[in-house]
Amino acid sequence: MASASSSALTPGGTGAPSGTTKGSGRHQVVVIGSGFGGLFGTKALKRADVDVTMIAKTSHHLFQPLLYQVATGILSQGEIAPPTREILARQKNAKVLLGEVTAIDLENRTVTSEVLGRVTTTSYDSLIVAAGAGQSYFGNDQFAEFAPGMKSIDDALELRGRIFGAFELAEIGAERGDPIEGLLTFVVVGAGPTGVELAGQIAELARRTLRKDFTNISAEHARVVLVDAAPQVLPPFGEKLGRSAQKSLEEMGVEVILGAMVTDVDERGLEMKFKDGTVQRIEAITKIWAAGVQASELGKTLSEQTGAALDRAGRIAVNPDLTLPGHPEVFVVGDMISLDNLPGVAQVAIQGAKHAAKEIEHRLEGKPSKGPFKYFDKGSMATISRFNAVAMVGRLRLTGFIAWMMWLAVHIFYLTGFKNRVTAVLHWFVSFLGSDRSERTTTTQQIFARTALQRLPGGPNALVSPPGSSEERRRELEEKAAEEARLADARDRPVSAG
Ligand SMILES: Cc1cc2nc3c(=O)[nH]c(=O)nc-3n(C[C@H](O)[C@H](O)[C@H](O)COP(=O)(O)OP(=O)(O)OC[C@H]3O[C@@H](n4cnc5c(N)ncnc54)[C@H](O)[C@@H]3O)c2cc1C
């Protein structure tokens, strides 16, 4: 059991908790998630008179915007996913708890989390929920096995294995005289920033890095296809930047197919349907899904307990100050929220989490409420290839090298940890000034392990004994042995005549 402070948060004039605490004497804040919202929320509470418990299902903080560079061999996973424990080691009032949150009880103010059969219940006085979003296959979850998404380190490493592995298999296939077109075709579904960045990187990988590495195949002739149902690439960036990005991609040899809805995905390819009803199939062993998002399942439980509406992407409608209806002590931030059409970007999560942390601090110090959350849009950007990006800052629309330099500066600034920044910059030198990639290592397990685990009834939990079960088993065996000894003893004893 984790800490169980039972503070009574008496609503003040604004209906906000007053922060009176019993038990440990400190106000207990639980933060769910170690992503942008979770980490920045926890850090923002550094000087507050509270104890913070950050509960997350991974032990790292993931910088999702650079996942595509792990998938294409530019960066290592460690550079974009430093351990949360290390980041928070000097924050005395924060502790990290590994576990997937399976339940939130708003009435009793507890969070239940679980890792490999170990269940922990943590009490809170204030709660910040920042569990983010996962990939959405729009009701076709069966596509996931053949077209992994790009949401986690597992995804990126699996994709790295599939992308580099496809070139290797094509090399063998060419030697044997097998057809290799499908192996050398890479399809990215979704022409948002992630899809555009991935397609651009796979094209650069094939045309620059792998160009001279193979004997039997010409890697530079690999076919890279970017598919989207929308009529333009990068819809949130507007028509002009979308057109510019599409032109750059096409100049790099990426085939852009718009207005095409992916209707089927299998091991060997995918099928698309166009508005006029025509259906087209592309034979491609490597497919990547970068098309949709679905907010964390935790939104559902919060909605059921508060009546707050969920939108189609599972995002929960929060009050303007990011709290839940009837629960001023619970804040929801980042990709999980539906408020004023805020986009699912890192800054919404960071600023929302800081807002929530400040509000908690204000309440504890008896200061006036901060009121509604105000988002400051710092702009958006997407890279297309080395030295080429598009950026939107206020009314400014930038393309090419200037936008790419902005992208570089912002990513160096926001990458967590000094050593990560240094090594990432070194790797960027290797890849952008030269043509090499430092992180091309792949393993068979990276490619197949997750699918194998998913097929296993019970998933990874089936592979470990639940806690305490070995002692239980030992006791069972001892009891059985004692019983057998007793029976043997009774058999050996002479029968008495009474
Ligand atoms: C490939 C990719 C590229 C992107 N590029 C950009 C970009 O260039 N610029 C930009 O601004 N944004 C970008 N984004 C979006 C941005 O990363 C998100 O908006 C941001 O991460 C949202 O932060 P969050 O805290 O809400 O969620 P996340 O950062 O996703 O964090 C969620 C956290 O919750 C944890 N979690 C989830 N469920 C549970 C549970 N049940 N129990 C315990 N822990 C749980 C997760 O492990 C994780 O730690 C990108 C996203 C992706 C996937």
Task: State the pLDDT confidence band at 135, using cuts at 50, 70 and 90.
Answer: very high
Whether 122 shows a pLDDT value over 80: the answer reads: yes
The residue whose C-alpha atom lies closest to atom 15 belonging to ligand 1 is 345
Q: Which CATH number fits domain 141-291+380-447: 3.40.50.720, 3.30.470.10, 3.50.50.100, 2.40.50.140?
A: 3.50.50.100
**Residue range(s) in the chain whose domain bears CATH number 3.50.50.60:** 3-136+294-365
Ligand 1 nearest atom to the CA of residue 101, by list position: 42
Mark 72-104 as b/e (b = at least 16 C-beta within 10 Å): bbbbbbbbbbbbbeebbeebebbbbbbbbbeeb
Highest mean pLDDT among 153-157, 466-470, 477-481: 153-157
Tell me the angle at which helices 238-251 and 193-204 cross, rounded to the nearest 10 degrees.
Answer: 20
Task: State the pLDDT confidence band at 474, using cuts at 50, 70 and 90.
Answer: confident
Compute, in angstroms, the gap from residue 36 CA to the centroid of ligand 1.
Answer: 6
Among 30, 288, 345, which residue has the most ligand 1 atoms within 8 Å of its CB, making it the best to mutate? Answer: 345
Whether 14 shows a pLDDT value over 50: the answer reads: no
pLDDT of residue 464: 81
In short, whether 149's Cβ falls inside 6 Å of ligand 1 is: no
197 is a catalytic site residue: yes
Q: In whole angstroms, how far apart are CA 37 and each of 61, 103, 164, 253?
A: 10, 19, 33, 37
In short, whether 151's Cβ falls inside 6 Å of ligand 1 is: yes
pLDDT of residue 15: 39
Angstrom distance (rounded) from CA 59 to CA 82: 9
**Residue range(s) in the chain whose domain bears CATH number 3.50.50.100:** 141-291+380-447
As to burial, measured by CB atoms within 10 angstroms (0-12 exposed, 13-18 middle, 19+ buried), residue 188 is buried
Taking the CA atoms of the chain, what radius of gyration do you get in angstroms? Answer: 27
Whether 497 shows a pLDDT value over 70: the answer reads: no
3-136+294-365 CATH fold: FAD/NAD(P)-binding domain (3.50.50)
Catalytic residue among 79, 158, 197, 204: 197
pLDDT of residue 10: 31
Residues 139-160, mean pLDDT to the nearest whole number: 95
